[in-house]
Structure 1
Amino acid sequence: MEISRPQRASPLSRDLGLDVARGIAILLVVAGHVFDGPAKDVIYAFHMPFFFLVGGYLFKAQGTGDALVRLLRKLIVPYMAFIVLLSLPGLIESAGRNGVGDLWWRLRVLVLGGEKLVAPLTIFWFPTCYFFTALAYNALATRLPARGMWAISIACLGLAYVNQLLLPGFWLPWAINVCAMAIPLFHIGARYGGVLFHPSRRLLLACCAVALAYTAAIALFQAPPMAMKGANYGIPIITCLVAVAMSSALVGLGRAGAQLPRASAILAQCSHASMTIMYVHMPIQMALAGVGLSEPWSRWALTVAASLGCHAVFLALPATRRLLLGQGRPNDRRQGATAPQ
C-alpha cells in the first residue's frame, strides 16, 4: 500500500523554495567542517536530519527492482567512484612506504565505510546510509499500511536510542546502524513534509522559537547536537524533534529567500550541486588549510566556490556526469532519488 501524501511539484518542475533551503543546508554542511565551537554544534543539531526529512518528503514508491537500480545509479556508483579518486593517491603512497600489510588495512576500512571513514572521507557515511534507508523504506511502504509504517518507525527509533545509550560502541558497515534514526526521520518527512515544508505562519514562528531556544541551550548549557555518523542523537526524542523544527524553519527561510532572484539562483545552484559539494568539500578545505589558509570564512567561501567549479566540470563531461553525478544526460535533475541531489 503506497503512502498517501500532499501534492507537490512534478519532477520536471522544481520547488525553488525547497531548492534554496537545500542550498543553504549544503553550505552549512561545509561550514560544519570548517568552523568550530557552538556554531558547529548548532549546525549539527539539524543539518543531516534535514536531508533525510526532505528525502521522505520527495519519496515516491517504486517496485523494489526499479528502486534498487535507481539508487545504485544515483548514489552507489558516484560513491564508489569518489572513494577511488580520493583514496588512490594515499593508497599508492601507503603501499610504497609501509608495504602490503598497511595497504590491506586501509582497503578494509574503505570497504567497511560508515563510521570508520575519516577525513577526507568523513561525510561518506551519508550516501550508503541514505541508500539503505531509502531502499528499506520503499520496500516497507509498498507493503505496509500507515499504522504498520509508524510501528516500524517507532521500533527503529527505539533501536537508535539503544545503540546510543546502551551500546555506544556498536556500529555496522556502511552506517547501516544509523538507518535506525534515518528511517523515522524519512517517515516524518513522507507523512508530514507537506506541512513542515509549507509551514503556516504560526508553525513557522513556533519552529523558529524552538530553533532559537535550542541554539541558546547549545551556547549557554552545551546542549548536545545530533551527530548521526557516530550514532550520537542527543537528548532522546527532544533533539530529534528539535531537528524537525529547525528543518522546517530552514525551509521557511528558503521560501523567503526564493523571493530574492540573485541569491535564490546561487543557492539553487548549490542545491543542484549538493552531492558534488558533499563529496569534494573536505579534501578542498583540507588542502586550503594545508597551505596556510586558517581564516574560516575565507576557507569556507573558497571551498564552496571550488566545489561548484568541480561540479561544472563533472556536468560538462559525459563520463564524469555518469560516474560522479549519477546522471545519464545533461541537466538530469529529477527529484526524488536523493535528498541532496
Structure 2
Amino acid sequence: MKKRLDWVDAAKGIGILLVVMAHVPIPDSLKQFIYSFHMPLFFLLSGMMFRSSSSPALSFIQKKAKSLLLPYLYFSIITYVFWFSVTRFFAFKGQTDIDPFVPFTGIFISNADEARLTHNPAIWFLTTLFLVEILFFFMHRLSKGKPAAVILLTVLCGGAGYASTLLLDQSLPWNANVALTAVVFYSIGFLAKQWFVELKTDPTLLLCTGLLVLTAYMQSFNSRIDMRVNDYGDLFIFYTCALLGSAAVIYLSFKLKTSPILTYLGRNSIVILVLQFAGIDIMKAFVFYGLGINIADTAQLSWTLFYTIGTLLLMVPCISFLSKYPVLLGKPANAAQRYEQKTSAG
C-alpha cells in the first residue's frame, strides 16, 4: 500500500461528489439514499490507508493532529468569519436570529447540537476522524494487528456506539460518541484493503448497479440516517446499506480510476469538504438574488446538478490557491512544489 492507489482517489472523488449533492437542494428520496452510505464510505476508505507503525503513540497523535486538527481549526475560523460577515444575512437562510457566540463555541466543541456548526455543518468529520484514527491506533496496538482481535474490539466499539444512541440525548464534544460507530467502518476498511488490492478482475457495472439498487431498496425501510448527530434508525439496515453502498462505490471506482475529474476531486476532497458550504451558499445567492427564484422550489434533480457542478467549479480556484499554502491543509511546505511538478508534468 506504499504506492498511491488511483481507485482510492476515484472512490473519494465519487464520495465527495455525493457529499456535495446531498447538501444542496435535492429530492428527499435521493438525499436519504446518499446519506445511507456516503459518510461510512469515507471512514472505510480512511481505514484502508492506515499503516501499522512502531512509533510512540504521542508521535502518531501529533502527526494526526497536524493533518486533521490544524485544517479543522484554520477552516473553522475562516468559514465562521465568512458566515458571520456574509452568509448569515442571506434571506433564504433565515439565520440572523442565531446568536453568533453559539457557532463560535462550535469551533471548539465541534458537534451539531444547538446550531453550533451553523457556519460549517460538514467540518465535524475532521475532528471525528481524528478520534477514530487515535482509537484505532490503540486497537491495533492492543490487538497486535491480529484480525480476530481487531474484529472483537471493533464489535465492542460498535456496541458502545449503539448504546450511546440510547443513553445520550446530546452529542459529546468532537462527536466522540459518533467515533465509536465510525471506527467500525474504519476497521472494516483496514481488514478489507488487501482483498480489494488483490482483486484480479474488476467487478462488472451490473454488479455495481445491483448493489446500489439494493441499497436504495433497503434504505426505503429506514428513516434518513445522519452520522453527524448519531442517528442511524434501524441498526441492521444502517450497517447493511452503509456496506452495500460503500462496496458499490469502491467497485465503481475500479472502472473509473482513470477519470481525471474523479481523481482530482478525490485528491482534493478535504478542500471541498471544508469549503463546500460557502460555495453552496454563493450558488444559492445567485439563484435567489440573481434569478429571483425561491430556493424551496429548486429541490429537483436538474437544480441539484446545477448547484453541485457550480459548487465544484467554485472549488477549483480554492484548490489552486491552497496548493500554494499546504500548511493550511496540514501538509508539509514542500507539498506545494510536488503539486506544481505533478501538474506541469501533465
1:154 & 1:229 partners in 2: Cα distance? 21
What is the DSSP-based 3-state SS (H/G/I as helix, E as strand, rest coil) of the residue aligned with 1:171?
coil
Whether the 8 Å contact between 2:106 and 2:117 is mirrored in structure 1 is no
Instruction: Count how many residue pairs are aligned between Structure 1 and Structure 2.
Output: 308
Match of 1:110 in 2: 107
Partner of 2:262: 267
Which runs of no fewer than 5 residues in structure 2 stay unpaired?
A: 89-98, 289-297, 340-346
Alignment equivalent of 2:35, drawn from 40, 44, 48: 44
- 3-state SS of paired residue (1:143): helix
- Amino acid of the residue matched to residue 324 of structure 1? L
Task: Measure, in 2, the Cα distance between the counterparts of 1:300 and 1:32.
Answer: 9
Q: Call closer, same or farther: CA 1:310–1:192 in 2, change over 3 Å.
A: same
- Mapped to 1, the partners of 2:192 and 2:109 lie a distance apart of 34
Q: Cα–Cα, structure 1 residues 224 and 106, in superposed 2: closer, same or farther, change >3 Å?
A: closer
Root mean square deviation, CA, Å: 2.7
**Cα separation, partners in 2 of 1:255 and 1:202, compared to 1, 3 Å:** closer
* CA contact 1:277–1:308 (8 Å) conserved in 2: no
Equivalent-residue separation in structure 1 for 2:67 and 2:134 (angstroms): 13
Which of 277, 302, 314 aligns to 1:282? It is: 277
- 1:254 is aligned to 253
What displacement does 1:303 show?
0.2
Task: Please show how residues 137-152 of structure 1 align to structure 2 within 5 Å.
Answer: 137-145=136-144, 146=146, 147-152=148-153
Q: What amino acid is the match of 2:42? A: F
Aligned residues of 2:83 and 2:119 also touching (Cα < 8 A): no
Post-superposition Cα deviations, 1:110-146, rounded to whole Å, max 9, x if no partner, equal 3211223434411111000000100121122123243
Task: For 1:278, give the aligned amino acid.
Answer: L
Cα distance change on mapping 1:286 and 1:197 into 2, 3 Å? farther
Deviates more, 1:174-183 or 1:138-147: 138-147
Partner of residue 176, structure 2: 176
Spell out, residue by residue over 1:166-199, the C-alpha distance to the aligned partner (whole angstroms, 9 max, x if none): 2362310111110111111111111122225665
Asked if 2 retains the 8 angstrom alpha-carbon contact of 1:31 and 1:300, the reply is yes
Bigger shift: residues 137-146 or 22-31: 137-146
Query: How far does the alpha carbon of each residue in 1:34-93 deviate from its partner, in whole angstroms, 9 at most, with x for none?
Result: 123111111111111011111111101232122112211111111100011111255579
Kindly, what percent of the aligned residue pairs are identical?
21
Aligned to 2:91: none
Match of 1:321 in 2: 326
Which amino acid counterpart does residue 112 of structure 2 have in structure 1?
Answer: E
Contact map agreement 2:140 2:150 (CA 8 A) in 1: yes
TM-score computed with the length of structure 2 as normaliser: 0.80
**Structure 1 counterpart of 2:291:** none
Once the 2 structures are TM-superposed, how far is the Cα of residue 297 of structure 1 from its aligned partner? 1.7
Gapped runs of 5+ residues in structure 1? 1-7, 95-101, 335-341
Residue 208 to residue 224, structure 1, CA distance change in 2 (3 Å): farther
Contact 2:103-2:119 within 8 A present in 1 as well: no
Question: For residue 38 of structure 1, what is the amino acid of its counterpart?
Answer: S
TM-score (norm 1): 0.81
Q: Is the 8 A contact 1:214 1:223 kept in 2?
A: no
